[in-house]
Structure 1
Amino acid sequence: MASADWPIDEAPGRDVVALIPEDFRLESGERLAATTLAGRLHGPEHGPLVVVAGGISSGRFATRWWSWAVRSGGPVDLNRVRVLAFDLLPGRDGPGVTITTADQARLLAILLDALDEPAIDAFVGASYGGCIGLAFATTFPERIRSLVAISAPHLAHPAATAWRGVQRRLLAFARDCGRESEGVALARELAMTTYRTPDEFGLRFAPTPPARAGEAYPVCDYLIARGAAYDEVTSAARWIALSDSLDRHAVRPEQIRCPLTVLGFTSDRLVPIDDLRELAALAPAGRLIEAPSIFGHDAFLKEREVVGRALHDALLPLNALPREIAA
């Protein structure tokens, strides 16, 4: 995801680590296998603090997976603000656990405590990261001053749960058959058909039949490449846990006290725009921005002008004020 104006190596930053208390339990009652949680800080030492979180395959390297947005001079300007991103599930290949977005919010609070940060100036979350932001705002209303939620609902839609449920069963089946890598690749291929739109596929791929039945069509070649590239990103257990977490997500918008900017795209099939309209309308200080896009759910990665403008406007008060005043 490196942009043309930013090298593949991330901007200068430093890792931070917090110990997970021994008595920490997930809402399910389970314990995490990991004993530490890792985050990464960028930006000026005393700048306003902005937490950035993305989809289930993101983590603490925000300047890699969102390189065009989180950079010096970018919409999330590392010349003006500090950025904290964190790993969404400690450990890459830990055992499958039942973890909620509220659990993720509590883990973030542990990391903030380790950094001696009583509150954050803004939370910018997209997709799963936006769900965590919503959960953080309802769980710790005194610790957040503003929230930007992009393509992130207050409640999972049943159609999205249906698609993700098929992916989880495919992952479990492949893992149990000893073919986990192939299962991860196939589940990613299926997921890509829900992230993008029929309009985009229609523009990009010709319906040219292959020589024989069972061989790949042009659009299938694209999906196969995306699946193969994903094998090194996650394990079946990790994907199942985080995918399930999306479907357990539920918050009450009425409990979000801080200013909330909701950004959604009318072509997003995973997060229907009507759900985001409801979220913004029910939140006491909610504001909705909606836009068209051929990229569907992946629009937060692709629609630089719309997303960049929304981030710039939402974070403008932080960019204009020194840390002492913003705090």
Structure 2
Amino acid sequence: MTAVSRPAALTLPLQDSERCFSGNPADLKPKTAVLFRTAPLLLDCGRALSDVRVAYHTYGERQKEATLVLHALTGNSAVHEWWPEFLGEGRPLDPSRDFVVCANVLGGCAGTDGPAELGDLALSLRDMARVGRALLDHLGVQRVRVIGASMGGLLAYAWLLECPDLVERAVVIGAPVRHSPWAVGLNSAARAAIRAAPGGAGLKVARQIAMLSYRSPQSLAATQSGQRTPGVHAVTSYLEYQGEKLLARFNEGSYLALTGAMDHFQPEDAELACVRVPVLVVGISSDLLYPAAEVRAGAALLPNAAYWELDSIHGHDAFLMDAGGLPERVEAFLKGP
């Protein structure tokens, strides 16, 4: 069974950005490619897909070597919108020097084929890595440095296992080598909420569950104490706002598919021991979702990994909220021999 063929690549509308990228304005525009036209993509579930649409951003001049950014669960390919501390001249992702690529993952809802096109099927992170590799082939990229945080960090491990000949080095931020029962349990509760209340209400609750795991008690005490309106706790208003905001831009089918792919990514220690390229693994001191000790233990399974810890009270989301010395550490590693 194959996806519906499309006669040509589509152009997606440019979304407004709250933060302006100071590089080439053309880099702000999303692009699309239709891949697997002559040979299908065989998914791990056994289904074959043809004419797979992939939406992506590139920054800088096209080169044979690139830096590939892998986005988080509800993220997208517009790195200039959500990671301005990392993207720009003199930063770790420097378009004046590097060719930077970020693609929306298969199964998402930001332009790449997702549930609306694929229906209800099981996807894997390895499937997503294969799609990403096909995109890099389409762009003429022969070697790549990979950087991913959260789900993007898990996906970076999939890249290391699926594409060892292509990856030169990798940065994994706030992600373990595989999901623990704790992480699977949180995702299971979120999926149960979506299935129990389809049509949007469940997705809002799923987001509220996730947001609690993305922050820490200290972070919420510092930012969401007291009442924002009479009789309503500030943290309650915050969670409701986050649920509404996600509902406006995300798809419950994508949430089910992507969290399922994350939960089922369970590489064996022996596979990880075969990863020979340099890897920088970053834990976050107050991370409740992926505790620093768990991230550090995963790094120890890699023969050529270095571990560094970001000290922040803001939990898992510190890589977005409170990057501290992380950009400098990542830039030094990416520039390494």
Report the TM-score, using the length of structure 2 for normalisation.
0.84
Q: CA deviation at 1:241?
A: 0.4
In the alignment, structure 1 residue 291 sits paired with structure 2 residue 307: no
Identity %: 24
Q: Pick from 67, 73, 91: which aligns with 2:113?
A: 91
Q: CA deviation at 1:238?
A: 0.6
1:174 aligns with 2:197: yes
CA RMSD of aligned residues (A): 2.5
**Amino acid across the alignment from 1:219:** V
The aligned counterpart of 1:102 is 126
TM-score when scaled to structure 1? 0.86
1:12 to 26, 29, 37: 26
Unpaired runs of 5+ in structure 1? 319-327
Question: In the alignment, is the contact (CA less than 8 A) between 1:11 and 1:42 conserved in 2?
Answer: no
Considering fraction of residues, name the structure with more helix: 1
Deviation digits for residues 263-307 of structure 1 (CA, Å, limit 9, x no counterpart): 111211111212221222221110000132111111111222222
Give the partner amino acid of 1:260.
Answer: V
Of 251-260 and 31-40, more deviation after overlay is shown by: 31-40
Work out whether residues 68 and 146 of structure 2, in 8 Å CA contact, stay in contact via their aligned partners in 1: yes
TM-superposed deviation, 1:16? 4.6
Map 1:140-289 to 2 at 5 A: 140-175=163-198, 180-208=199-227, 216-251=232-267, 252-289=271-308
The yes-or-no answer on 1:307 pairing with 2:331 is no
Matched letter for residue 313 of structure 2? I
Conserved 8 A contact 2:179-2:263? yes
Q: Which has the higher contact order (CA 8 A, sep 6+)?
A: 1
Query: Could you tell me how far apart the structure 2 residues matched to 1:34 and 1:158 are?
Result: 36
Q: Mind listing any 5+ residue stretches in structure 2 that lack a counterpart?
A: 1-15, 107-111
Which letter does structure 2 place at the counterpart of 1:138?
A: L
Q: In structure 2, what is the Cα distance between the partners aligned to 1:208 and 1:255?
A: 52
In the TM superposition, what are the counterparts of 1:52-71 in structure 2 within 5 Å?
A: 52-71=69-88
Query: What are the Cα deviations for residues 87-116 of structure 1, in whole angstroms up to 9, with x where unaligned?
Result: 112235422321111111111111112122
Answer yes or no: is the 8 Å Cα contact 1:3–1:68 preserved in 2.
Answer: no
Q: Amino acid of the residue matched to residue 271 of structure 1?
A: Y
Classify the secondary structure of the residue corresponding to 1:170.
helix
Whether the aligned pair in 2 keeps the contact of 1:52 and 1:83 (CA below 8 Å) is: yes
CA distance in 2, matches of 1:30, 1:98: 9
Q: What's the counterpart of residue 324 of structure 1?
A: none
- 1:111-150 to 2 correspondences below 5 Å: 111-120=135-144, 122-150=145-173
Number of matched residues?
Answer: 309
